[in-house]
Amino acid sequence: MREPGADGVAERLRRTGWRQTAPGGEDGFAAGQPRYVCQVPLAGRSLEQIQNGFNQQWRRNIKKSEKAGVKVVRADQEDLPAFYELYVETAERDRFVPRPLAYFQRMWTALTAEDPDRMRLYLAHHDGEVLAGATMLTVGEHVWYSYGASTSRRREVQPNNALQWRMMCDAHELGAAVYDFRGITDTLDEDDHLLGLLRFKVGAGGEAVEYLGEWDYPLNKLLHKALGLYLARR
């Protein structure tokens, strides 16, 4: 399904000098707003129907996490350092540059000032150790899985599946129409190191959605082109 008017908006942007940024180089992600995302529809569906939309691996992993005793809790601002420790480990493993802890602290302060439920933090515990964490953002009927992190330790207890299922359940309770996993790669190349992330998100019954993505307005066309070449070669 293609939203009416989307192509017209893109064409107007081009005519006025805006330039669509590349999807994100080798990873398929943009620097801020991803062009391709994965969304799980929640509106009009029960939790049972949502879980029935998961693939067998997802349902199996949720059962494994429950049997292993993984506990997912809603955390608070003082738990951000615990999340951040996992986030830095994830950045090293998945080859991206991590944002500083202060970024998440400022985000928390700014967003929760608007609404205490605007930003939530969830942590998955097992035997006294935090194995995974994620932030969840809510605006109206749209819920986003914003930032995620996990350790490579004890992956057999499936903390990430437990974490996402708890967040989906809470999003459903909030009356959300969609649970947004955000960015996915724009390729199905088996050699892509983020293909596993795509499979994880799609396995939860997610649907690929394309947005207009990021656009730049080059004030200096020569410098803009030079910057683009530099970023492409990094």
Q: Please give the Cα distance from 207 to 56 (Å, whole number).
A: 17
- Helix, strand, coil distribution of the chain in percent, nearest 5: 45, 25, 35
Instruction: Indicate the pairing of strand 142-150 with strand 178-183.
Output: parallel
- pLDDT of 220 higher than 70: yes
Sign of the alpha-carbon dihedral angle for 232, 207, 155, 76: positive
CA separation (Å) from 111 to 47, 73, 137, 221, 224? 28, 20, 9, 35, 32
The average confidence (pLDDT) of the chain is 87
- What are the residues whose beta carbons fall under 8 Å from the beta carbon of 165, sequence distance 6 or more? 51, 62
Give pLDDT, residue 188.
60
Give domain status of residue 4, yes or no: no
Burial of 65 by CB count in 10 Å (0-12 exposed, 13-18 middle, 19+ buried)? buried
User: Residue 103: pLDDT band by 50, 70, 90 thresholds?
Assistant: very high
- What is the CA angle 42-206-201, rounded to 5? 125
Segment 197-223 mean pLDDT:
82
Residue 23 forms part of a structural domain: no
Element (H, E) at 180: strand 178-183
Does 227 or 18 have the greater pLDDT score?
18
Domain-located, residue 216: yes
Residue 189 lies in domain: 32-233
Convert the pLDDT of each residue in 60-83 to its tens digit.
Answer: 999 999 999 999 999 999 999 999
Q: How confident is the model at residue 231 (pLDDT cuts 50, 70, 90)?
A: low
Supply the pLDDT for residue 223. 77
Contact between 136 and 167 under an 8 Å Cβ cutoff? The reply is: yes
State the pLDDT at residue 146: 92
Whether 2 maps to a domain, the answer reads no
- Please check whether residue 201 lies inside any domain of the structure: yes
Residue 98 lies in a domain: yes
Residue, of 208 and 143, whose pLDDT is higher: 143
Segment 33-41 shows an average pLDDT of 86
The pLDDT, as a whole number, for residue 194 is 60
* CATH number of domain containing 222: 3.40.630.30
Please tell me the predicted confidence (pLDDT) of residue 24. Answer: 46
pTM, two decimal places: 0.84
Q: What is the tens place of the pLDDT at every residue in 162-178?
A: 999 999 999 999 999 99
Does residue 5 sit within a domain? Answer: no
96 confidence band (pLDDT: 50, 70, 90): confident
Q: Which of 21-25, 37-41, 53-57, 87-91 has the lowest average pLDDT?
A: 21-25
In sequence order, what are the beta bridge partners of 144?
Answer: 137, 180
- The sign of the dihedral angle between the CA atoms of 200, 203, 209, 210 is positive
Q: How many domains in the chain?
A: 1
Q: Is residue 10 a part of any domain in this protein?
A: no
Q: What is the pLDDT of residues 111-121, one digit of tens each?
A: 999 999 999 99
